[in-house]
Structure 1
Amino acid sequence: MAQANSIAQPPASLFDVNTELAVDALNKILADSFALYMKTKNFHWHVQGPHFREYHLMLDDQATEILGTTDQIAERVRKTGHSTLRSIGDIARYQRIKDSNSDSIAAPEMLAELYNDNVALVQALHEAKRLVDEAGDNATSGQLDDWTDLAEGRAWFLSATSRSS
């Protein structure tokens, strides 16, 4: 009977693809996701106006969805044998989505800003998809499809909600 005194090494296939560029792209997407999460929560907390309840609930749902992807993104980076973000400082260094620190912003502008940020995230996800496909990282490629669908869905909701009747 063989003795099991150590954990088997992960399959070499986890690390035999060139993932450096893809990992950098994923870490930027992770930073953008945290920035978008915080901005969405900020707007959720500060939205006002005749559609308060509708916007408040929608933004809370969207923030929850965004936060849910952050763990998946970080764990995917780790599964490929790389390091991911470690601090608020790392988020600030990598993020491309701009913070919103305005004391007063009207609800339509909030929705427009979040729409544009989600569209920018979709574009970043498409670029990361190209990189992981070139690297032959099928698992990350499939996850990027899911994250892209979620970001497109949020952008669609924001756009549809912003349209006048």
Structure 2
Amino acid sequence: MHTHHWDTSVGKYALNSDIKLILVSITENDFIDAKNIKLVAVQYIYTMSTQQTVRLQADEVEGSEALRIDSERASQLVDALNTDLAATQMLYHQLKKHHWNVEGAEFRDLHLFLGEAADEAEEFADELAERAQALGGAPVSSPSAISEQSPVEAEDENVYDIRTSLANDMQMYGDMIEMLRDHVALAERLNDPTTAHMLRENLIEVEDAAHHIEHYLEDDTLVVESAMQ
């Protein structure tokens, strides 16, 4: 038994000359000698490697047989999750913007808080995307789709004073709180306790962050009035 070995740019392959290989449309009566079989294999592999296949349309939801959630229920859940995901991505970018640009006497505390809040938003976005995928959907991912599907709107590119920035963050958090409460209820109605639990756990963190910002915006301070003049 004689074996031919070769290397190609797409990997290493070994073919046995005593085994009939059907690489392309080769009938039993076709003959390919050992010298030409390499070329046929490489051409076939190149064709396979350059094919583009859409495995799932962006607006398609298959559901999950493993999770026992049919496509009708999954479609409603994925739509809600993608709305949450788009909003969370918008929140993440706004928090990072304020994390980068904060200045003033409270710089350190606010810089750290905003950085941690952005990290939490990023983690939440990852959980939302993975759950949407598990339910047989395609997580919203492109910037244009995120902007279109987000129910919240981020502030523009201008850099505002920190009180204005925090007020904008609190507004976005408030909108997300209402949205998450609605989607927790939706998941429960659709008998998906796992999604409901995930959203409820993250709702707690979102409410906590909003509560902290509300405290930052209070007018109470240890700085005496004379020091501010």
The answer on 1:161 being equivalent to 2:196 is no
The whole-number CA distance in structure 1 between the counterparts of 2:158 and 2:104 is 15
1:23 aligns with 2:100: no
Query: How many pairs does the alignment contain?
Result: 157
- Structure 1 pair 140–12 and aligned structure 2 pair: CA distance change class (3 A): closer
2:14 corresponds to which residue? none
What is the distance in 2 between the residues matched to 1:44 and 1:161? 14
Q: Residue 50 of structure 1 corresponds to which residue in structure 2?
A: 105
**Which residue is 2:88 aligned to?**
33
Q: Which among 195, 199, 217 is matched to residue 140 of structure 1?
A: 195
Larger helix fraction of residues: 1
Which runs of 5 or more structure 1 residues have no equivalent in the other structure?
Answer: 1-8
Q: 1:73 aligns with which of 116, 120, 128?
A: 128
Greater strand share, structure number: 2
**1:130 and 2:185 aligned:** yes
Could you tell me which amino acid in structure 2 is paired with residue 46 of structure 1?
A: N
TM-score (norm 2): 0.65
Cα 1:97–1:106 change in 2 (3 A) is same
Unaligned runs of 5+ in 2: 1-63, 221-229
Residue 64 (str. 1) matches residue 114 (str. 2): no
Match of 1:105 among 160, 163, 173: 160
Identical-residue share of aligned pairs (%): 24
- Letter paired with 1:45: W
**In the alignment, is the contact (CA less than 8 A) between 2:184 and 2:199 conserved in 1?**
yes
- Contact 1:118–1:151 (CA<8 Å) still a contact in 2? yes
From the CA coordinates, give the structure whose radius of gyration is larger: 2
Superimposed CA distance per residue, residues 60-115 of structure 1 (whole angstroms, 9 cap, x where no aligned partner): 01001100111100111111111211311111111122122242311111111111
TM-score under structure 1 normalisation?
0.88
- State the Cα RMSD in Å: 1.7
Shift of 1:160: 1.1
> In the aligned structure 2, how far is the partner of 1:136 from the partner of 1:49?
49
Task: Please say if residues 43 and 110 of structure 1, whose CA atoms lie closer than 8 Å, have aligned partners that are also in contact.
Answer: yes
The AA in structure 1 aligned to 2:159 is S
CA drift at 1:19: 2.6
- How far has the Cα of 1:164 moved from its partner? 2.3
Which amino acid in 2 is paired with 1:62?
A
Moved over 3 A (4+): 14-17
Match of 1:150 in 2: 205
User: Residues 164 and 139 of structure 1: is their aligned pair in 2 closer, same or farther, counting only changes over 3 Å?
Assistant: same
